[in-house]
Amino acid sequence: MSSNNDDFYALSFKTLDGKDYPFEQLRDKVVLIELHKKYADKGLVILGFPSNQFGGQEPGGAEEIQGFCQKNYGVSFQIMEKSDVNGGNENPVYKLIKAKKPGIMGFKKIKWNFEKFLVDREGTVAERWATTTSPASIDSTIKGYLTKKEEN
């Protein structure tokens, strides 16, 4: 199937350890960029994008970021290379997903850490949630996207 969602799959980004991560491998997955242990076996992929644009909360290098995320959050998902998510140097992933799914009143800017986006199995940027939205509150929505494949 060819669609304007192919532009998501054309993206590639560096992981925290410097390896290329082609988004083509995310086809037929539901992607939430920020519930991994619960739904990974059902096709949920989570990508974390560290950024130092929010109060300087991410000043460290790759090893420090990885250690902090594992120690404090038990991270088991892929963490990408630190980058900007707003402004002239924003990374291409955020440029695309913000354009496809603007926030309230059409604002594209990421307001703070842990803003969440969901890309469905077809590559559509389907959902965007604020920093204050807890993962527990979006659990049923994510489950709905994951079960769509099971129903088809």
Q: How far apart are CA 82 and CA 95, in angstroms?
A: 15
Question: Are the beta carbons of 108 and 102 closer than 8 angstroms?
Answer: yes
Classify each residue of 35-64 as buried b or exposed e, where b means 16 or more C-beta atoms within 10 Å of its C-beta: bbeebeeebbbbbbbbbebbeeebeeebee
What pLDDT does residue 5 have? Answer: 61
Which one of the listed residues 5, 52, 72, 89 is annotated catalytic? Answer: 72
Query: Taking phi first (over 0 means left), then psi (-120 to 50 degrees means alpha), and beta for anything else, what does residue 130 get?
Result: beta
Question: Are the beta carbons of 127 and 11 closer than 8 angstroms?
Answer: no
Q: Residue 18: helix, strand or coil by DSSP?
A: coil
What pLDDT does residue 87 have? Answer: 96
Identify residue 112 by its one-letter amino acid code.
W
Confidence of residue 21 (pLDDT cuts 50, 70, 90): very high
Does the reported pTM lie above 0.85? no
The token pair at 93 is 């992933």
Q: Which domains does the chain have, with CATH numbers?
A: 6-151 (3.40.30.10)
At 87-101, the pLDDT tens digits run 999 999 999 999 999
At 73-91, the pLDDT tens digits run 778 888 999 999 999 999 9
Q: Which residues pair with 45 in a beta bridge?
A: 31
Identify residue 30 by its one-letter amino acid code.
V
Does the annotation count 72 as an active-site position?
yes
